[in-house]
Amino acid sequence: MSAIPSIYTVAALYCFARFPDPQALAADLRARCADLGTCGTLILAGEGINGTVAGDAGAIMALIGHIRTLPGCTDADVKYSWADAAPFARMKVKVKAEIVTLGVGDLDPATQAGTHLDPADWNALIADPDTVVIDTRNAYEVAVGTFQGAIDPETRSFREFPDWFDAFAADLKAQGRSPKIAMFCTGGIRCEKSTALVKARGFADVYHLKGGILRYLEEMPEADSRWQGDCYVFDERVAVGHGLQAGDYVTCRDCGLPHLRDAAHDCPGDESGVWPHRG
């Protein structure tokens, strides 16, 4: 077991790949994470791996090095940040049907996803008034921050996104429009699936922000940024801003929703399974 680090390296990662036996891979990862003393969550499925892990720098580098040896994961997308305290209470390795749940089973994000754009090209695209910019995250995340001019689908879970988009697409087609569509999410993984869905629905010019909001906030100078607010993250930091510095948000103990420290919070109560909530 590794010693408790004074500064935690945090790695957010995902990779769409073919895993014939995710249960066996998960068992091996549980043992490795225990030996390395990491905390966080990893999710495996037949379609790949997703998660965020934290620990001392050596342990995280060793774990990421191992994950890159898994089938099809040599180029796994990994984003690093840092925390002064453990951002997760424990280490969990889970096997699920999907590594991010959209509920549309006939998509192959590895081959069907939209065109990736780096932050500079993203800025140029979303500045075009003919581009439709869609935030694929849930309403409580959007409330913390989003890109200027982005559409908020007001979803409460990612599973609601396909129905929302189908209604939105029908409206666009009724207007005779087939615009460029730019989509974004926290780290990029939800957009791999959502852009594949949009292309499957017949839209050709579909783009998404490579590395998601986190990479944008890390690389884009604040003076040139089109981001407004902070970015909600799924750990004890709650939200981060430019340079991935921790923001001034805390999590409500009752409902799990983020709110500004020392600000009034209209708590809706624990709506378990829909909003982030205790446990």
Catalytic residue positions, numbered: 185
Residue 149 makes CB contacts below 8 A (sequence gap 6+) with 126, 133
Are 173 and 207 in contact by the 8 Å Cβ rule? The answer is: no
Q: Residue 58 in contact with residue 211, Cβ under 8 Å?
A: no
- Could you give the CA distance from residue 23 to residue 41 in angstroms, rounded to a whole number? 15
Are 2 and 36 in contact by the 8 Å Cβ rule? The answer is: yes
Minimal CA–CA distance to 126: which of 196, 224, 244?
224
CA pair distance 266, 268, nearest whole angstrom: 6
